[in-house]
Each structure stands twice: as structure tokens, then as C-alpha cells.
Amino acid sequence: MIEKLKRSLKIIAKKVLKEDFEKIKDEIKVFPSENLNFGDFSSNILFLIAKTKKTNPFEFFASIKNELEKISYIEKVEFLNGYLNIFLNRKEFFYIFKTLLKNKDEFLKNNLGKRKKVIIEYVSANPTGPLTIGNGRGAVIGDVLAKILSLSNFKVYKEYYVNDIGRQIDLLAETVLYHLGKREFSDDLYKGDYLKEISEKYKDKLLNLDKEKIKSFLVKYILSNLIKKPLTKFGTKFDNFYFESNLYKKGLDKKILKILQDKNLLEGKDGAIWLKLTNFGEKKDEVLIRKNGMPTYFFSDILYNYEKFFIRKFDYSIIIVASDHLDHVRRLQSTFKYIFNIDEERFKFIVYQFVHLVKGEELLKVSKRKGTYVTLEDLIEEVGVDPIRFYFLKYSQDAVVKFDIELAKKEKEENPIWYLHYTYARFNSILKNAKKKKIGIPKNFDSKKVFDFLIKNDLYLKIFRMINRLPLLVYKIGEDLKPHILSQYLVECAKELNSFYEKEKILEGEEKEIKFKLLFVLIILGFLESAFFLLSIKPKKILYKLDNENSNQKS
């Protein structure tokens, strides 16, 4: 629908602007309205026309409105604060009715991706210790985006990049050597008890290994036990774990150095090899090979991302990283834009802020190197997977998450994830009570007749319009890569659905009408199941408070 509306608006804009249309055609946006009182869609087209014609947005509203309201699927068009707000004809929601009842898997799909190949790399914590809660935020963002892009007809590949070489892995082995009594303590060693425990448990084995084999053992052990296991509990699965060391086994380092040398972009200085990024307007050059001959993290990332685009031939790469990687994002994007001709539309980064844990009045500190931290697995044990997934996604990636452990465990409306489960359970209880009254859900029915009955009621129309926003948001998130709007939308949905539950007496009236309304309950449940699917959360059909609830749906 968004693409269809966009095409219509472009045709209208071309009539208005004529030769000036080319200046704005790629800037025309259509997006789901944030508030259903302001329509089903909004567009920036009036701002664009006003900018081109050097006038105010309202001047062309009447002519645009008249053109749009000639289109059969549009009910009306309004002007608000410069935006064009569009209301769909209520008959347009018949598609939702049919799809959610008969082919729910198609409900959220669109063709934004056109089968383009996209690789999403996320979490990718160094295999030096347990996953932190920050890693968990990256996992949630990556999981949701992967699902949404798959539904948007991208060919999605999920990857975890394992930094199994370099300074941090060297320090990991040095820390174990300290615990084995084979070296003195120093401040740069890892402080967590987990390395002491590993050293004690595998002491006999480790004492017989040289340092390189200790590194290999630790990487495999930590990746398997402290990273993959909690990710599995968390519902995060990858298509591949790609090891940094493989880049060098393939000889990709030599190939890239030759490409850069041929472009006259390398400089030897202070015994190291530098990439001359100042040639492209960057403030400083970057070290690729240290004077000790070891590659930098930056050089390995050049190899890894070159391999994505030019060997595995991905159309797009998305990398999800914490905000302490901002400088690294800048230099990688510059390298690929100016040296390898991969622009930012194909090479995207999602940079998220950290998570702060709050318990009562206490702000819990997190530091993996100092050994004082709460692991993702600890938090799962404390509050369960569902609250973590919901709250970590609820905030824009630009905002710090303040995760209130006590709130996450509350079984009250103020806890939105509990309230969502509660909403789902309430509508399931209607089906349970209908069964007790021996009222069955019809298996054979005239879809159009049922829909026409339901859509006459404004309460039902409002829910149809609300449900219609979910596939539109899937499309928008696929475009903008901002999945937090999903959680925020679902909070509003829970309020609307519970308001509907209280007002509409589903199990009252003639049996035929009740059966029609039960079909609408199935639509609501299908919608909620689709939303839970996007969050990788399993909906709960029964919550204990329902058994004691005084509900108008029991009569």
C-alpha cells in the first residue's frame, strides 16, 4: 500500500510541478501515521512542493486533495501542520480480514527487498568472556531486523564475526597463564572469576599446551559455553560464525595490501604500515600493520567487509555495534566509499547506546575487564527472556536503555510486556468461554458477509485500522532500520485492545452474530501472534489473574 500511494502521489506531483518534478521525486515519502486520529498514512509531499514553488504547504492542498479523493481506496484527505494525512476506505481492510483468517503467514510480507542479498552482522563480542547485557541489546535489534527484512523479501544472512586473533586474545591466554602460576600478575589482565574457574577445571590439560594452543582452547571453550549457550536461551540464532583468522588463511591480507599499494594509498611510518585516509578528507591516517608485524582490528575489518561485498557478493551489509565503535564506523565507511566505491546505502551501521541496569535505587555497574558485570545469562535467570527482548527494543538505538529489573518482573499493567501477554490471554479466554457455552467458531462462512457485518461498527473499524499498521511498520522498519517503533506501537495496541475488550460484549447477542464476532477474535489473536513472532517471544494463553477476573466476556 505504501508503494501504491507513493506512485499515486508522484503522478499528482508531476502534474503540479511539471519539469520541476525531477527535483523532488526521490524525496517523496509515505509513512504510517503515528496517531490513527490523523489518518492511516501521512506524506511530506506538500512540504516538497512548497519548497520547489517557494510558497506555503497549504496552497496546493486543495488540488492534491481533489486528485487523491478520486482514488477508490481513499476515504478522505486532511491537512495538518504541513503534512498530508490520508484515510483509507474501510473496504480496504477486507484484505487484513481474509489474510489473518486464512493465510496468516502472508500478513506481514512485502516486496521491498526484491530478493536482494543482505548480510547482518551483530553481537560479535570478542570470545574473551561471557556476553554482557549490552551484547543482548545488539542481539535483539539484529534478530528483529533479520525477521523484518526477510518478510520484506530480502535474502537475509545472519553472521557473528569472531575476533579470534589479536591483543585481547593474547591477554586472555596471559590471564590463564597467571592462574596456572606461570607468570606474574599485571593490571592489563582480565579480572573475571570465569577464567580462574576455567584454569582450575582444565589445569592438567592447559599445563601441557603452549600459548598458541591455549588461545585456541580458550576461544573454542568461551564461544561454545559462554556465548552460544546464552544466545540459544535468548532465542538468537546465526547462520554462520565467521572467524577472523580465516581471512589470513585465505591470503586476503596480501590481496588487499596489493590493491591499496597499487592505488598509492599505503605509507611506511614509524615501522608500521598506514592507510592514507587523509587523501579523502579524513582528519588522520590509520595504521593497518603494526611495527611488530601484527594486523590491526581495522585492517581485519577491511578484509572481512571486502570479502562480504566482492567475494560473497552481498548487495547490502548491515553491522550492529555499540556506541563505543563510532570512530571505527567512520573510518570503515570512508574506506569503502572512497577506495572500494561502496556507498553508505549499501554499507550500513546501526549504532546503539548502552544498557544501564536499575534495581531499586541502585544503578548496577558493568565492566567486563574489571570483572564486575551482570551477564546476559544472569539477567535471563533473573527476569526471563521476554522482558529483556521487549525493553531492549523499546528505546531508540540513540537512547540509553534504563532496564528496571523490578518493573520487568511485575505482573501489572505498568509492565508493558506482561500487559501484552495479558491482552493475548484475555482474548483467548473469550474462545474458552464460548466453548463452555457450546458456541463454536464457524468453519464455512462468507468472508465478505462477515466483514461487512463487522466493519459497520466503529469499534471494529478502529481495531482494523490499528492492525493494518503492523505490516506498514514492517515495511517502514525495512526502509529505515529503526525497529524500536515496533515496541512503542505494541504498547498502544495493548491499550486499544483492552479498551475494545471492555466495551464490546463478544458473547452477547444472537448466536450468528456471536460467531461472526468470534472470527474477529481470531483476527486479533493472529495479529498478536504475528507481533510476538517479530519479537521472538512466545505468547502465553493463560495468566493466573484471568481466573479471578470479573469480565463481561464470561456471561
Average pLDDT in the 253-266 region?
Answer: 96
* Cα–Cα distance measured from residue 413 to residue 352, given in angstroms and rounded to the nearest whole number: 28
Average pLDDT over the chain reads: 91
Residue 228 and residue 151 in one domain: yes
Q: HSE of 545 in the Cβ direction (CA atoms, 13 Å)?
A: 13
The residue among 405, 439, 466 that closes a domain is 405
pLDDT given for residue 478 in this prediction: 95
Per-state percent for the chain, helix, strand, coil, to nearest 5: 55, 15, 30
pLDDT given for residue 372 in this prediction: 53
How does residue 102 score in pLDDT terms, banded at 50, 70 and 90?
Answer: confident
Average pLDDT in the 408-413 region?
Answer: 91
Return the bridge partners of 77, or none.
86
Residue 221 and residue 362 in one domain: yes
pLDDT-above-90 percentage for the chain = 71
**How is residue 403 annotated by DSSP?**
E
Q: What is the pLDDT of residues 165-203, one digit of tens each?
A: 999 999 999 999 999 999 999 988 998 889 999 999 999
Q: Is 312 part of any domain? A: no
For residue 35, is pLDDT > 50?
yes
Q: Is 311 part of any domain? A: no
For residue 98, is pLDDT > 60?
yes
User: Higher pLDDT residue, 10 or 217?
Assistant: 217
Q: Is 134 part of any domain? A: yes
Q: What is the pLDDT of residues 354-399, one digit of tens each?
A: 999 887 667 766 554 454 568 999 999 999 999 999 999 999 999 9
Residue 74 and residue 218 in one domain: no
What are the two backbone dihedrals, phi and then psi, of residue 386, each rounded to the nearest 5 degrees? -60, -50
**How is residue 224 annotated by DSSP?**
I
| Distance separating the N- and C-terminal Cα atoms of the chain | 40
Pairing type for strands 355-359 and 401-404 reads: parallel
Average pLDDT in the 403-428 region?
Answer: 93
For residue 27, is pLDDT > 80?
yes
Average pLDDT in the 277-283 region?
Answer: 93
Q: Find the CATH number of the domain harbouring 156.
A: 3.40.50.620
For residue 213, is pLDDT > 90?
yes
For residue 553, is pLDDT > 70?
no
pLDDT given for residue 547 in this prediction: 47
In terms of average pLDDT, the best of 310-319, 392-401, 408-417, 540-549 is 310-319
How does residue 11 score in pLDDT terms, banded at 50, 70 and 90?
Answer: confident
Q: What is the pLDDT of residues 335-357, one digit of tens each?
A: 999 999 999 999 999 999 999 98
Q: Is 331 part of any domain? A: no
pLDDT-above-70 percentage for the chain = 95
**In terms of residue numbers, what domain contains 47?**
2-88
User: Higher pLDDT residue, 236 or 102?
Assistant: 236
For residue 328, is pLDDT > 60?
yes
For residue 209, is pLDDT > 90?
yes
pLDDT given for residue 36 in this prediction: 85
Residue type for position 420: L
Of 354, 374, 376, 357, residue with least CA distance to 229: 376
For residue 548, is pLDDT > 90?
no
Residue 423 and residue 539 in one domain: yes
How does residue 55 score in pLDDT terms, banded at 50, 70 and 90?
Answer: confident
Q: Find the CATH number of the domain harbouring 21.
A: 3.30.1360.70
Q: What is the DSSP string of 294-349?
A: PBPHHHHHHHHHHIIIIIS--SEEEEEEEGGGHHHHHHHHHHHHHTS---TTTEEE
Residue 159 and residue 245 in one domain: yes
Q: Is 383 part of any domain? A: yes
Residue 535 and residue 440 in one domain: yes
User: Higher pLDDT residue, 48 or 157?
Assistant: 157
Residue 399 and residue 425 in one domain: no
Q: Is 112 part of any domain? A: no
Residue 70 and residue 137 in one domain: no
Residues ≥6 apart with Cβ < 8 Å to 245 = 164, 165
How does residue 104 score in pLDDT terms, banded at 50, 70 and 90?
Answer: confident
Pairing type for strands 286-289 and 30-32 reads: unpaired
Q: Find the CATH number of the domain harbouring 483.
A: 1.10.730.10
Longest dimension (CA), the chain: 87
Residue 129 and residue 164 in one domain: yes
Of 123, 156, 378, residue with least CA distance to 228: 123
Q: Is 97 part of any domain? A: no
**Which residue's C-alpha cell is 588461545?**
215
Q: Count the domains in the chain.
A: 3
For residue 550, is pLDDT > 60?
no
For residue 549, is pLDDT > 70?
no
pLDDT given for residue 117 in this prediction: 98
pLDDT given for residue 367 in this prediction: 52
Residue 446 and residue 517 in one domain: yes
Q: What is the DSSP string of 75-144?
A: EEEEEETTEEEEEE-GGGGHHHHHHHHH-GGGTT---SSTT-EEEEE-----TTSPPBHHHHHHHHHHHH
Residue 66 and residue 209 in one domain: no
Give the H or E element holding residue 266: strand 266-269
Q: Is 174 part of any domain? A: yes
For residue 146, is pLDDT > 50?
yes
Residue 227 and residue 360 in one domain: yes
Helices (H) and strands (E) counted in the chain, each on its own, are 23, 15
Q: Are 307 and 342 in contact (CB under 8 A)?
A: no
Average pLDDT in the 286-294 region?
Answer: 94
| Range in 68-77, 152-161, 461-470, 514-523 with the lowest mean pLDDT | 68-77
pLDDT given for residue 369 in this prediction: 46
